[in-house]
Structure 1
Amino acid sequence: MAGGGSAIRGSRVGAGPMGEAERGESAPRVWVSYWCATGHETRPSFAQEQGLAVPETWDCPRCGLPAGQDRENPPEAPKNEPYKTHLAYVKERRTEADGAALLDEALAALRARRGG
């Protein structure tokens, strides 16, 4: 194909001069350090605007734990409760004596229905 090339030959999407003149002026930034319980430091930047609050915690991108701004006292990892069966929940609400009384009551009702 002779001479019938594309007008954007040799360029790619996003190519070209990119500066503040094209994007506009960038907002002033503030960098905040966060530390997780495993000692990782994360430094996200935030726009420095009036009334804009910096979050107290940030998720660590390396391990996923919550991170706080106090290096010596990072937030604790959330406690993951293991799956509980219905029986486990019942045992939390009832004592052994309660269970024995309920069992005796149910057996008595069953025997009465069967005529025994």
Structure 2
Amino acid sequence: MPSGNVIRGSRIGSAPERFDQRTEPAPRRPVAYWCRNAHRVEFLIAAEAEAPAVWDCPRCGEPAGPDPDNPPGQARPEPYKTHLAYVQERRTPEQAEALLAEALDALHRRRRGA
């Protein structure tokens, strides 16, 4: 009796299909970007696609632009926020007190029932 996890239509050790013989890749074009640290970033995009104005440099993380003589400015990093800071942005103090009271009430009920 066969098990339910058999891959049908292939055998163990079989070679992958050769898609390159049956299909042709979409037309592509190279795009190059430079960051402030003179790192060159080059990749291929679809020929009909519009290239993004800015791309992150994979070596240093700075923004890179298509003009090597005028790369974009330094990225301004987002300051680190704690979980409490994000919660305080979304809730008023009154909402926070109501949520805390609800959570404490649920905790007390669970402990009494257990």
TM-score, L = length of structure 2? 0.53
Q: Say if 1:59 and 1:81 are closer, same or farther in 2 by CA, change over 3 A.
A: closer
Runs of 5+ unmatched residues, structure 1: 1-6, 84-116
TM-score, L = length of structure 1? 0.52
Q: What secondary structure, in the 3-state scheme, does the structure 2 residue paired with 1:11 have?
A: coil
User: What is the alpha-carbon root mean square deviation over aligned residues?
Assistant: 2.3
The farther-off stretch of 31-40 and 73-82 is: 73-82
Q: Among the aligned pairs, what percent are the same residue?
A: 44
| Aligned equivalent of 2:28 | 29
How far the C-alpha of 1:25 sits from its partner, in A, is: 2.4
Partners of 1:82 and 1:19 in 2: how far apart?
Answer: 47
Structure with larger Rg: 1
Partners of 1:27 and 1:61 in 2: how far apart?
Answer: 25
| Aligned equivalent of 2:45 | 46
| Aligned equivalent of 1:56 | 53
Runs of 5+ unmatched residues, structure 2: 1-9, 81-114
| Aligned equivalent of 1:75 | 72
Are residue 8 (structure 1) and residue 34 (structure 2) matched?
Answer: no
Q: Say if 1:74 and 1:54 are closer, same or farther in 2 by CA, change over 3 A.
A: same
One-letter code aligned to 1:55: P
Partners of 1:61 and 1:20 in 2: how far apart?
Answer: 33
Asked if 2 retains the 8 angstrom alpha-carbon contact of 1:28 and 1:48, the reply is yes
How far the C-alpha of 1:9 sits from its partner, in A, is: 2.9
Asked if 2 retains the 8 angstrom alpha-carbon contact of 1:20 and 1:26, the reply is no
